[in-house]
Amino acid sequence: MVQEMTPQDVDHLHTISRFDSEGVAERYAQKKHDQGWRNRRELALIDKAMSRLAPGSAVLDLPCGTGRLAIHMALAGYRVTAADASPNMIRVAREISREKGIETIDLSVRDVLDTKFSEDSFDAVVCNRLLHHYRSPELRTSVLRELKRISRGTVIAFYFLRTPISLLTWDLRNRIKGKNPQDRIPISRAQMEREALDAGLAVKRILWVKPGLSPQCYVVLEPLGSSLTA
């Protein structure tokens, strides 16, 4: 008997399929490995979010795309594992890592909802540019729950969080254009905190890509009851 897929299953599989092709992986690499302002800013925020981690700490980049963050973290001295649901992304990430002379990153194909990693495998987990593609709160919570399971400490997740300015820059722009987007939809901070709480995590800090101007940010989460959340 074939089990009927839930809306969350459809959402998850649709997101995977969007990014799993040779052409998408190649274009993604060209875009994400540039040295523009946004790339430098995001890498700086990752460094800030991980500032408490000692060199040599075990970190996971999931989804890793074509390896932009994984390479940066490896150069910073962390023991990096990088995974993605797309074999094409992993292939390109491996090629770029070799081109840069970095052979220490452990790359593999993994599903963020069922990573197959053991519990408490990593000192920190970075989930970059994924959750804003998911429309379902239940799906985002399931991802956080799995990331918490495999992390001994910090979970760093990229979000689109609604701000007063985003009502003008995002919502109003789409209304004017007559668009009803189904992706990259900002959620409220309260909604994000509820989902994190349901996954057993608490918000430690929020690092904004463009403070006051953009809904894009990195949220640093810690397990409930951790001394870091006190």
pLDDT, averaged per 10 consecutive residues of the chain (230 residues), comes to 73 80 78 79 97 97 96 98 96 95 97 98 97 94 98 97 76 74 84 98 97 92 76
Residue among 73, 74, 131, 141 at smallest CA distance from 103: 74
The pTM of this model reads 0.90
Q: Give the orientation angle of helix 137-150 with respect to helix 7-19, to 10 degrees.
A: 70
* Residue 116 belongs to domain with CATH number: 3.40.50.150
CB proximity list for 213: less than 8 A, separation 6 or greater: 165, 169
Report yes or no on 1 lying in a domain. no
Assess if residue 159 is contained within a domain.
Answer: yes
The pLDDT of residue 228:
54
- Look at residue 164 and tell me if it is in a domain: yes
Residue 2 resides in a domain: no
Per-residue pLDDT, 173: 73
Residue 62 has what pLDDT?
A: 98
How many other CB atoms are there within 10 angstroms of residue 48's CB atom?
13
Q: Under a CB-based contact definition with an 8 Å cutoff, are residues 82 and 67 in contact?
A: yes
**Residue 230, pLDDT score:** 44
Give the pLDDT of residue 128. Answer: 97
Cα gap 189→72, rounded to integer Å: 28
Cα distances from 186 to residues 39, 52, 157, 183, 202, in angstroms, run: 21, 28, 14, 9, 19
Establish if 176 belongs to a structural domain: yes
Strands (E), 53-210: 58-61, 79-84, 106-109, 122-127, 151-160, 201-208
Q: What are phi and psi of 164, to 5 degrees?
A: -55, -40
Residue 142 lies in a domain: yes
Cα–Cα distance for residue pair 66/99, rounded to 1 Å: 13
User: Is 40 contained in some domain?
Assistant: yes
Rg of the chain (C-alpha set): 17
Examine residue 110 and state whether it is found in any structural domain, yes or no: yes
**Could you give the number of structural domains in the chain?**
1
Q: Which domain holds residue 120?
A: 7-229
